[in-house]
Amino acid sequence: MAYLQLRGIEKFFGEHRAIKGIDLTIQQGEFIVFVGPSGCGKSTLLRLIAGLENIDGGSLMLDGRDITDQPSSKRDLAMVFQSYALYPHMSVYENMSFALKLAKVDPAIVREKVERAAAILNLTTYLERTPKELSGGQRQRVAIGRAIVRAPKVFLFDEPLSNLDAALRGQTRVEIAKLHRDLGATTIYVTHDQVEAMTLADRVVVLRDGLIEQVGTPLELYDRPANQFVAQFIGTPQMNVVPLQQLPAPVQQQAPAGAAGGAIGLRPENIAVRNTGTTPVGGQVDLVEALGAETLIYVSTPGGAQFVSRQNDRTSLRAGDAVSLDIDASQAHWFDAAGHVVAGQGA
């Protein structure tokens, strides 16, 4: 049986139907990531689960208990916010222990739980400091520690790393992954960051306009997207999706019949840049991004198509150079005019 189950969840803001009847089952111990463009409803859905917004339709079950109308304090959930939400006048210890003290938990048990969480998060030496004496990454770990000491049934993270710089995001992402592995806690995590979604999630939930577009493991979504939206949303750089009419006839002829009037989708690693004149698809280099371990080459064609190719080798190409593109059609995703996946494609 599902540990957390959403059945027909709806949310209205006035006349606007922000969440449109979402069904989702989450198993105990899973790490679920919600992704989607701004305004898709991912943070709203998280707040509905947390009890910070009222559910206008449907039901929410946790461990066999209906919590649809339960207040946030009774749901046995803990939320970590983007803004840390720490009490500035309290020490790290006081911030982490505050909820337990309100619940009148025995002080010895409070200390034991706080010290255990601090050890897990490498915060032991900072327990007497106030938030202003900590770095951004340390403050976020305090917010996570405050959730850990409550031992909730589900952890909820709302873009917890977005206020950190790139180096701290990477470090804290590793800590969150390790924390999940060590605690085995059920976790729902909202992010707009592709790397976080692909590296942290057991399953990714892709949302658009208050609806779920697809649910699956990160690699399932990457390799077998349900539609053009998911195909272009998952992956960095995003999938090349080019209308068939912008490609030479030899490429168009490889498309399934259902893709007529539609598009071809190719991951950047499935396009190779060759010497000019060696393939039917010619173009001109617009930009070369030399990233060290990999190189991204942006190419535009005379037909108006734009591609990005990812390769592991370094290149001497420069903007303005004429090239040819070697397209691996066996790895192509084919879409019809409405953006649906066409059956019978090679990928």
Rounded to 5 degrees, φ, ψ at 319 are -55, 135
Reduced to 3 states, what is the DSSP secondary structure of residue 111? helix
pLDDT of residue 344: 57
Task: Give me the count of residues in the chain.
Answer: 347
CATH number assigned to the domain covering 237-335: 2.40.50.140
**Spans of the chain, pLDDT less than 70:** 1, 344-347
Tokens 């405050």: give the residue.
Answer: 146
Transcribe 147-160 into DSSP letters.
HHHT--SEEEEEST
Q: Which two tokens stand for residue 245?
A: 């009419």
Query: Which residues of the chain form CATH 2.40.50.140?
Result: 237-335
- Condensed to tens digits (0 to 9), the pLDDT of residues 165-215 reads 877 788 888 888 888 888 888 999 999 888 899 999 999 999 999 999 999
Q: What is the pLDDT of residue 345?
A: 47
CATH architecture of 4-223: 3-Layer(aba) Sandwich (3.40)
Which tens digit of pLDDT belongs to each residue from 87-116? 999 999 999 999 899 889 999 999 999 998
pTM above 0.85, yes or no: yes
